[in-house]
Structure 1
Amino acid sequence: MTQIITALSDVSDRYKAMFVDLWGCVHDGVQALPDAVAALQAYRQSGGTVVLVTNSPKPRAGVRDQLGIFGVPDDAWDSIASSGDSARSAMYRGIVGNKVWFMGEEERDAGFFEPIRVVEDPVEITRVPLDEAEGIVCCGPFDATADPSVNRPEFLYAKQKGLKLLCANPDIVVDRGEVREWCAGALAQLYTEMGGESLYFGKPHPPIYDLARRRLAELGKMVPDSQILAIGDGIGTDIAGAMGENLDSLFITGGLAARETRTSEQPDPGALEQYLGDQQMSPSYAIGFLR
């Protein structure tokens, strides 16, 4: 049974580390959420460790820079594990070949192709047109407001060629302020539905959790899974991933599922129970917003 709590401090002393989602929890894609920042600062001051675990296709350095732009202070977190870093490692190991067709926004996603240090003898990656590609690297749609179905012609061709699609962000949608946008996960989902093969490296899939645990180890923190709390607003990513990893989880209902859970300040208990039942998910805790 999911317990509705009023503040992170209600349960934080049970955990030595937290894997915290960013978008919808710590910021809204435009600016930091002050109550969430304060809650994480207080947790760290009490001795806890915060690893930001994000499905952003950006490398860790790019996520850090973005946090500064949004106004998330450095003392609210300890390390970052991004879907981008996990996917980049796979790309430079040659999982989709040497010649790739890139999907994403040039300026925003350029960092994905920066050299990588953690892969020994990385393959050389060349971006090419689709008809020359050995695989697809998808950081997101070309237009985040356009329905993913606009990519059907390219995906049909790619499927016929047998190309694998590397998905650098398994999220389906995000809310940038008040605007809902499509993510790479929606494109990968469409490609799979059309009979193509999509490869995932962010939440809810295991590679990003392995990376998050390595980030803890880099900090000298050997924390058992029983003392890690995963926090997020994505029922199919953050919560599903936590359950798959056997981690306790805190569901932020005021993000992507605000309407379904009737969240103003806190979720409506009946609506929350109905939603979780429909999704067949059982997070340990729920709260309207991280605070």
Structure 2
Amino acid sequence: MVSLVAAYGLLLQPTARRPSPLRRFLSPVLEAPAPLASLLDLADEYDAFLLDQFGVIHDGKTAYEGAVDAVCELQRRGKKIVIISNSSRRKSDTLARLRSMGFGPCEGEGASDVPPISVVTSGDLVWEGLSAAAAAPFADLGLRCTVFGNGEDDEEYVRTCGRVAVPVAEADFVLARGLFTILGTGPDLLRQPFSPYSADAEEEALRAALAARPGGLPLVVANPDTVRPDGKDSPMPGLLAARYEAMGATDIRPVGKPHPLIYEACRAQLAIAGIDAAGARVAAVGDSLHHDVLGASQNGVDSVFICGGVHYRELEVPQAAAVPPAADKLAALLATFASEHGGCTPTHALAGFRL
């Protein structure tokens, strides 16, 4: 398997893109596209939207102002919406969360006059991949793993996909779902309580994983994010992966945006809805340049960058408030990103996801 840096490097290779009638190109030295007034300015230019959730339509507990109305309007116009999320949880968690906030109808709710919302999460893809153990990057993994987890559903997650949590010295691979607890620290297979996460515990576990074999034990990253959607400075699995690689690990397997597997799963959802992704007009909406915009660009779809999300501090705007950033701030942010990522820029920009 390729390393984390190599995986990102592959994504930065030029790929053919379908021209969009509203495509706005930006070189590192040109001005940024002005944030559009509302989602309605581009809604009918696309057949389907791959929609990020955290930092775009809600904060994990509460829907952002106008987000429910915006999603409902897209559905009313016949647009297929697929939530594409780097959540390390199963998609059932996302569906329940969306319904509790007023989004819907969603998949599994029976017949509807509008296209239901579908959900693809990186955590679900990892669970399905580990359960089937039939294809890369899961087919060659063993049964025993040490888990960096969220501290809530890790034991059930591991058990139901047919794996068992063990100490690093007995593990076949490491699974990173979160950085709140470590599952696999007990003395035997019958006693595997989680222990609290700490930087020291992480380093000890990663060094043991690195020493287990040349290049280290495989690390499956179920959430490759490096920054929390709310911008808070807390540990993320993507940073753990970077630290493991810095130690010398060579077998790191990230699942989620910006990597291809999650976009393949989204295309499968579009196909179920009768949409041929190869010929359809598809846009990915998100607030992360490094995950949403880069992932869309390298996987053949347009992108809509939400300014009031994870980059709100750099743009000096209130988070989730749909306040347009100053043109020079947006231009500088996008120019810097483009210069570091092979000229990649968003197709469109919105101050916030609302009508």
TM-score (norm 2): 0.74
Matching residue's letter, 2:42 = V
CA distance 1:59–1:286, change in 2 (3 Å): same
Please point out which of 68, 77, 81 is paired with 2:120: 81
Establish whether residue 251 from structure 1 lines up as the match of residue 251 from structure 2. no
Shift of 1:223: 3.5
Aligned to 2:262: 208
Q: Give the Cα–Cα distance (whole angstroms) in 1 for the partners of residues 69 and 291 of structure 2.
A: 24
Query: What secondary structure sits across from 2:234 in the alignment?
Result: strand
Answer whether contact 1:19 1:52 (CA < 8 A) is retained.
yes
Aligned to 1:160: 211
Aligned to 2:246: 193
Answer whether contact 2:91 2:119 (CA < 8 A) is retained.
yes
Q: Give the Cα–Cα distance (whole angstroms) in 2 for the partners of residues 277 and 249 of structure 1.
A: 16
- Write the deviation string for residues 44-72 of structure 1: whole angstroms up to 9, x where unpaired: 10111100000001111122123234x14
Matching residue's letter, 1:260 = E
Please point out which of 67, 80, 83 is paired with 1:49: 80
Query: What secondary structure sits across from 2:83 in the alignment?
Result: strand
Aligned to 2:315: 261
Q: Alignment RMSD, CA only?
A: 2.3
CA distance 1:189–1:270, change in 2 (3 Å): same
The structure that has the greater radius of gyration is 2
CA distance 1:172–1:72, change in 2 (3 Å): farther
Aligned to 2:237: 184
Aligned to 2:223: 169
Answer whether contact 2:158 2:164 (CA < 8 A) is retained.
no
Query: What secondary structure sits across from 1:188 in the alignment?
Result: helix
Answer whether contact 1:201 1:207 (CA < 8 A) is retained.
yes
Q: Give the Cα–Cα distance (whole angstroms) in 1 for the partners of residues 118 and 334 of structure 2.
A: 30
Query: What secondary structure sits across from 1:34 in the alignment?
Result: coil
Answer whether contact 1:148 1:186 (CA < 8 A) is retained.
no
Deviates more, 1:221-230 or 1:53-62: 221-230
Q: Give the Cα–Cα distance (whole angstroms) in 2 for the partners of residues 184 and 60 of structure 1.
A: 18
Q: Give the Cα–Cα distance (whole angstroms) in 2 for the partners of residues 164 and 274 of structure 1.
A: 38
Query: What secondary structure sits across from 2:49 in the alignment?
Result: strand
Aligned to 1:120: none
Answer whether contact 2:46 2:282 (CA < 8 A) is retained.
yes
Query: What secondary structure sits across from 2:314 in the alignment?
Result: coil
Give identity over the alignment, percent. Answer: 28
Aligned pairs for 1:30-179 (under 5 A) are 30-69=61-100, 71-75=101-105, 78-92=117-131, 93=133, 94-110=139-155, 112-113=157-158, 115=160, 124-142=162-180, 151-161=202-212, 162-176=216-230, 179=232
Answer whether contact 1:29 1:175 (CA < 8 A) is retained.
no
CA distance 1:39–1:57, change in 2 (3 Å): same
Please point out which of 273, 279, 284 is paired with 2:337: 279
CA distance 1:143–1:225, change in 2 (3 Å): farther
Establish whether residue 290 from structure 1 lines up as the match of residue 353 from structure 2. yes
The answer for unaligned runs of 5 or more in structure 1 is: 117-123
Q: Give the Cα–Cα distance (whole angstroms) in 1 for the partners of residues 327 and 197 of structure 2.
A: 34
CA distance 1:36–1:180, change in 2 (3 Å): farther
- Write the deviation string for residues 178-218 of structure 1: whole angstroms up to 9, x where unpaired: 74433211211211222222101100000000001111112
Matching residue's letter, 1:184 = P
TM-score (norm 1): 0.89
Deviates more, 1:141-150 or 1:51-60: 141-150
Deviates more, 1:250-259 or 1:2-11: 2-11
The answer for unaligned runs of 5 or more in structure 2 is: 1-25, 27-31, 107-115, 134-138, 183-195, 339-343
Q: Give the Cα–Cα distance (whole angstroms) in 1 for the partners of residues 279 and 332 of structure 2.
A: 28
Q: Give the Cα–Cα distance (whole angstroms) in 2 for the partners of residues 207 and 226 of structure 1.
A: 19
Query: What secondary structure sits across from 1:260 in the alignment?
Result: helix
Answer whether contact 1:101 1:136 (CA < 8 A) is retained.
yes
Aligned residues: 282
Shift of 1:160: 1.4
Establish whether residue 234 from structure 1 lines up as the match of residue 288 from structure 2. yes
Query: What secondary structure sits across from 1:271 in the alignment?
Result: helix
CA distance 1:148–1:208, change in 2 (3 Å): farther
Q: Give the Cα–Cα distance (whole angstroms) in 1 for the partners of residues 85 and 154 of structure 2.
A: 15
